[in-house]
Amino acid sequence: MRPRRSALRSTLSTRDGKSRYVRWLFSAIADRYDLITVVLSYGQDRRWKKRLVDRADLAAGSRVLDAAAGTGDIAFECARRGARVVGLDITRRMVELARQKSPTDASGPRFLVGDMMAMPFRDASFDVVTTGYGLRNVPEIAVAVRELARVLRPGGQLLSLDFDKPRNRVLRVIYFSYLTLVGSLLGLVMHRDPDTYRYIPESLRNYPGAEGVARLMRDQGFAEARFEPVLGGLMAVHVARR
Ligand SMILES: C[S@@+](CC[C@H](N)C(=O)[O-])C[C@H]1O[C@@H](n2cnc3c(N)ncnc32)[C@H](O)[C@@H]1O
């Protein structure tokens, strides 16, 4: 259930609170998610996702997991390049929407409902794991990164696309205010609720940022972990090797 506006920050500060809120939020917005993504990114999101997939060592038949797959953009892009793809998401409605887009033959991704912090896959099941805006949304990033490492084969790749936040304090305040304003307007127009997309800046407050995520990946056993700034450093693509 959606918490009152004043409670959002404290809700997101606990593991259970964030978990419940994220489940509620993505179920509520799933049917408009594709449109919202285009609007919020000024049409750039597809390009960023292609950039992530370009960085993946994909060959025909590569086993790919797209974690927090949403409606499946990254999963479909990997499948188009010949990979065998599983998309996993905790929100049932997102999985239903992704399945509706899937081709009926065996070339398309398979979509499953599941939690990327405790996945139903054996160790070393995948050559490549991708996640788009996934790590910022889990209650414990370190647990998710460890789980993503577990299902990757040694030498396999983890790729992640997500927001970053400016290191400069003044720029950060401006950026968060901008996201809050745009998010509130969009929430009002799309859901008659200005709070819906205030979640993005709020989720960034406790997010360790691109450098912190790279460090976390190394701490969780990735031999290499680097990131490329996207959109002047407001977003980042991480590439890590197990
Ligand atoms: C912002 S959407 C991103 C969807 C898609 N990857 C994309 O880039 O368009 C975040 C997704 O993470 C999913 N999610 C949140 N927590 C999750 C978890 N613990 N395990 C799996 N999926 C999760 C949500 O259901 C939602 O679909």
Over residues 12-24, the pLDDT tens digits come to 888 889 999 999 9
Longest dimension (CA), the chain: 52
Confidence of residue 2 (pLDDT cuts 50, 70, 90): low
Atom 27 of ligand 1, nearest CA residue:
70
Provide the residue count of the chain: 242
Q: Where are the domains of the chain?
A: 41-165+208-241
Of the candidates 128, 132, 140, the residue with the CA atom closest to the CA atom of residue 68: 132
Ligand 1 centre distance from Cα of residue 199 (Å): 13
pLDDT in tens, 94-138: 999 999 998 877 779 999 999 999 999 999 999 999 999 999 999
| Mean pLDDT, range 140-166, rounded to an integer | 96
Query: Which token pair is 131?
Result: 């996640």
For residues 208 and 165, give the distance between their C-alpha atoms in angstroms, rounded to a whole number.
9
| Ligand 1 touching residue 202 (CB < 6 A) | no
Give the pLDDT score at 191: 75
pTM flag (> 0.85): yes
How much of the chain exceeds pLDDT 90, in percent? 67
Under a CB-based contact definition with an 8 Å cutoff, are residues 200 and 206 in contact? no
Q: In 3-state terms, the chain is what percent helix, strand and coil (to 5)? A: 50, 20, 30
At residue 25, what are phi and psi to the nearest 5 degrees?
-60, -50
| Mean pLDDT, range 39-55, rounded to an integer | 92
Ligand 1 centre distance from Cα of residue 134 (Å): 5
Give the pLDDT score at 194: 74
- Count of CB atoms situated within 10 Å of the CB of 10: 10
| Ligand 1 touching residue 72 (CB < 6 A) | no
Ligand 1 centre distance from Cα of residue 217 (Å): 19
| Ligand 1 touching residue 90 (CB < 6 A) | yes
For residues 171 and 177, give the distance between their C-alpha atoms in angstroms, rounded to a whole number.
10
Amino acid at 220: Q
For residues 222 and 152, give the distance between their C-alpha atoms in angstroms, rounded to a whole number.
10
| Ligand 1 touching residue 91 (CB < 6 A) | yes
Mean of pLDDT over the chain: 91
Q: Please determine, for residue 4, whether its predicted confidence score (pLDDT) is greater than 70.
A: no
Give the pLDDT score at 154: 96
Q: Please determine, for residue 53, whether its predicted confidence score (pLDDT) is greater than 70.
A: yes
| Ligand 1 touching residue 235 (CB < 6 A) | no
Ligand 1 centre distance from Cα of residue 89 (Å): 6
For residues 81 and 193, give the distance between their C-alpha atoms in angstroms, rounded to a whole number.
39
pLDDT in tens, 209-237: 999 999 999 999 999 999 999 998 899 99
| Ligand 1 touching residue 203 (CB < 6 A) | no
- 41-165+208-241: CATH number: 3.40.50.150
Question: What does the buried/exposed string (b/e) look like for 137-160 if buried means 16 or more CB atoms within 10 Å of the residue's CB?
Answer: bbbebebbbbbbbbbbeeebbbbb
Query: Which token pair is 17?
Result: 């609170």
